[in-house]
Structure 1
Amino acid sequence: MKTRELRKWMVLPEVQSQLARGGAAVADEVLDGLAALLGGSGDQRRSDAEQVLVLVLAAFVRAHDPATASAIAGEWQAEHTRAAASSTRAAVEDNTRSILSRMSATNVFGDQVTMLQPWRRDRAIEIRDFWPDVEKLVQVIVTADDRGASCGSGASSPRTGSLMHPWR
């Protein structure tokens, strides 16, 4: 891109208005317009446009009085922070769901049941169809620091609710 083309683009009224308004939607509009001026592939053009936009914003802010420049820069920074926080939050939520779905008792039952003694393993597999909570019980047993204490505490104070024995 030639400097002259960039200057012509920067003085366009719609570009000046978009830069002054700020915001994520405006940033996309500005980037699209700037990318159209650049050569190269689509992804490379977009990346180059983002780098040029940083320089354009710096020049745009310098061209204004300090109060206006501060307001414009603050709005752009706030919008950038909101967009980054939103994408980070979405990524964390996706990863959390993924981890939790892989760690659910149903999904790990096959691996965890192999950690039991053969007679316990076989019985757990056998009763799984009519007592699905055996998956949770197996998970409690195999993830306990002390299996004996875990099983012993169940004998001295039997559980009620979802892990109750199916034959009671």
Structure 2
Amino acid sequence: MKNLKQNNKMKNTITAIIVLTVLVLTNVSFSQVTGTINAKATVLSPISVTSTSDLNFGTSILPGVAVTIDKTSANAGQFNLTGQATKQISVTMTLPSNLTSNGNTLPISFTSTDGGWKTPAGSWNAFNPAVTTTATFASEGTMIVSLGGKVTPSHTQASGNYTSTASISLYYTGN
């Protein structure tokens, strides 16, 4: 019986050593390491637009005589924009095909260079106002978008004050 007790004691000791070894090795081999990161986001300044002048063909249009306004003219339509400095935006214009007065229409048209944009210190960049384009804000976060065009009254054009609207839609491109 003494041998049996010694055998059991030795088995228990060996089992305890094995269990302790496994536990120690498990903690060393599979110890957990953690790390952290920060989640960050920078929201851009919203784009704002101010209509500063209408596209004005004047008050003395003669029947049968077309009038053209250049995008750089004082009579061009103009929008002042502010947004995030040096960021690119998409510019889309919705243009009329006619001006109207008391049910009468006066055709208006736009060429592929009647749109323009520039930074305050820059020069004009021509674009087709009927096609979406991109433009980039100045380092101050400002820009001017301008619109010229042409009205073509018929020889029998009815007199009146003709109007319509042109609008601009803007969003950041991510560039």
TM-score normalised by the chain length of structure 2: 0.19
Q: Which structure has the bigger radius of gyration?
A: 2
| Structure richer in strand, relative to its length | 2
Higher RCO (C-alpha under 8 Å, 6+ residues apart): 2
| Structure richer in helix, relative to its length | 1
TM-score normalised by the chain length of structure 1: 0.20
